[in-house]
Amino acid sequence: MSTDASHMRADARQNRDRILEVAQRLFAERGLDVPMAAIARRAGVGIATLYRRFPTREALVTEAFAEQIGHCLSVLDDALADPDPWHGFCTAIETVCAMLSGDRGLSAAFIGAYPHAVDVTGAQERALREFAAVIERAKRAGELRADFAIEDVAMVIMANNGITSDSPETALAASRRLVAYLINSFRAGHADPSRPLPPPAPLQLRDAFDQAGT
């Protein structure tokens, strides 16, 4: 009977892993509004099993992205620890944009399209705080232009989110080129004095995903 119990536990774990894997893939392809029934069907489990493991969509979203969001945060930790503040800043922007490229579900989860997924909200606040520190460091080093604003991070992520393609490779390549153009402009001493920047706008990151139906 203890063998049966551990067999059941192994089965439950396997189901759970399969659900998370399928959810992550479908969220990436189609956004967070994929029907729960489609996830259950693709994972080969009944809808009741899905809801027993994940009572709400928010719980499933939080779990599905916990790992990737943790990776995003560790990218920011690395940027703060980088002995070269400008290199740290560039790598943070590049890595986060590359991760978000073509992954609509992760983008939506990360920016808090599901405000009730508490873990994601916490991660988002921490990410903004860390981005502010990365920016401050690169400015103090005289490498990042002084008029770069925290809202520009939202601007970059939203612009990056606009770059999509049927081919994930094409989307990623175009995202990299966009980010390279922008970083080139963010560098101190590269501004064209004849064309000053208009002021930053109070962007709300989550607006970016309204039209994804999430």
**Least distance from its own copies to the Cβ atom of residue 100, Å:** 11
Nearer to its own copies, 45 or 179 (CB): 179
Provide the token pair at 183: 């970083």
Of the candidates 12, 118, 150, 197, which one interacts with its own copies according to CB under 8 A?
197
- The residue range among 12-20, 71-79, 117-125, 147-155 that interacts with its own copies, by the rule CB under 8 A, is 147-155
Using CB under 8 A as the binding criterion, the count of chain residues that bind its own copies stands at 48
- Residue 128 interacts with its own copies (CB under 8 A): yes or no: no
**Least distance from its own copies to the Cβ atom of residue 173, Å:** 4
Matching residue, tokens 């189901």: 15
- Residue 134 interacts with its own copies (CB under 8 A): yes or no: no
**Alpha-carbon distance values, 82 to 97, 183, 185 (Å):** 19, 17, 21
Length of the chain, please? 214
**Least distance from its own copies to the Cβ atom of residue 110, Å:** 15
Question: Smallest Cα–Cα separation from 130: which of 80, 86, 70, 95?
Answer: 80
Of the candidates 59, 98, 141, 155, which one interacts with its own copies according to CB under 8 A?
155
**Binding to its own copies in span 163-182, by CB under 8 A:** 163-166, 170-171, 173-174, 176-178, 180-182
- Residue 190 interacts with its own copies (CB under 8 A): yes or no: yes
**Least distance from its own copies to the Cβ atom of residue 112, Å:** 15
- Residue 101 interacts with its own copies (CB under 8 A): yes or no: no
- Residue 202 interacts with its own copies (CB under 8 A): yes or no: yes
Nearer to its own copies, 43 or 93 (CB): 93
Matching residue, tokens 């009944």: 46
**Binding to its own copies in span 29-58, by CB under 8 A:** 31
Provide the token pair at 8: 């059941």
> Residues interacting with its own copies, by CB under 8 A?
31, 90, 104, 151-152, 155, 158-166, 170-171, 173-174, 176-178, 180-187, 190-192, 195, 197-204, 207-208, 210-213
